[in-house]
Amino acid sequence: MTLRPTRRMCPTWALVLLAATLAAPAVQAAGKASPAVSSRLQYQRDTAACRTPPNRPDRDDCLSEASTAFASREPVSVDADPGRYLRNALKRCEPLTEPDRSDCVARIQGQGTTSGSVAGGGIYRELVTREVGTPASAPEAK
């Protein structure tokens, strides 16, 4: 009697399972869209839903809500250049003529008084500049 060594073959399902296990991370990475892309896709779906016939009467409200929802999903980024705010504020003074321009720059740089709030409707900056000049001559009486 001759004994032959037998080779065991892996079942097909084991090979399929192994291939699926090795491919799963790549499939998951490809399936996940970045938050910005998924947010934009959701916005496109929302606006498309607003344009369908049942939503026609309140279409503007629907589009506004879709836009607000999109904006709330956007990631908030911190400005890497903290001096940009000051430069933009000073640019608003450029169209003014002297002496108004120098007064505007002084208010932006913190001189004078500041009151109000953004939530209250605006920030009011006031700077009082006193000018000393020669008094005007009185008109001659007749």
Q: Which two tokens stand for residue 36?
A: 């910005």
pLDDT at 111 (0 to 100):
87
C-alpha separations of 81 from 53, 87, 105 in Å: 46, 10, 20
Select the more confidently predicted residue: 134 or 76. Answer: 134
How big is the chain by its Cα radius of gyration, in Å? 35
Q: How many other CB atoms are found less than 10 A from the CB of residue 142?
A: 3
The answer to whether the beta carbons of residues 101 and 93 sit under 8 Å apart is yes
- pLDDT tens for 36-74 read 678 788 888 888 888 777 656 677 888 888 888 888 877
Quickly list DSSP for 74-110: SPP---S-TTHHHHHHHHTTTTSPTTHHHHHHHHHTT
Residue owning tokens 């003074």? 93
The answer to whether the beta carbons of residues 36 and 70 sit under 8 Å apart is no
The answer to whether the beta carbons of residues 94 and 107 sit under 8 Å apart is no
pLDDT at 3 (0 to 100):
61
Alpha carbon distance 45, 31 (integer Å): 18
Residue owning tokens 């192994």? 18
What pTM does this model have? 0.38
pLDDT at 81 (0 to 100):
77
pLDDT at 83 (0 to 100):
84
- pLDDT tens for 97-113 read 988 898 888 888 888 88
Alpha carbon distance 84, 67 (integer Å): 27
Give the number of C-alpha atoms closer than 13 A to the C-alpha of residue 10, restricted to the C-beta side. 7
